[in-house]
Structure 1
């Protein structure tokens, strides 16, 4: 019989930014290392820009988006 937790783990997916997971959590990284957090909610980096990887440090916000060229409204 599968092990059923009292409350299922909640994970929030967004369009941009981190994956929000209700904690505490253990994350096994690709290199086999394990990161542990006992916080009630953790932000797991999905863009791999974080200096605290696998935890999000909001580095995804620093990415500059292409600027639209100024256009003459008369065109």
Structure 2
């Protein structure tokens, strides 16, 4: 079994290039993934959550990821 790689794009979404199943935690229903790669919203402003619709650029989202040591 191969690992799935999720890339946090600079000031943008989470990008998943491999096949993935996305489940709505509230309903338990699988969300359709129309094509790859799939981009998941990190800014919280998408009108199509959990998918990215590009709003991060309009709202000036700062998605800086800093490693946190335990």
Q: TM-score, normalised by structure 1?
A: 0.62
Q: 2:30 maps to which residue?
A: 34
Q: Which has the larger radius of gyration?
A: 1
Say yes or no: does 1:13 pair with 2:8: yes
CA RMSD of aligned residues (A): 2.2
Q: Secondary structure at the match of 2:32?
A: strand
- After the TM superposition, which residues 1-75 of structure 1 pair with which residues of structure 2 at under 5 Å, given as runs? 5=1, 7-32=2-27, 33-64=29-60
Unaligned runs of 5+ in 2: 62-70
Give the 4+ runs in structure 1 shifted more than 3 A: none
Q: Identify the structure with the greater strand proportion.
A: 1
State how many pairs are aligned: 60
- Relative contact order, CA 8 A, sep 6+: which one is greater? 2
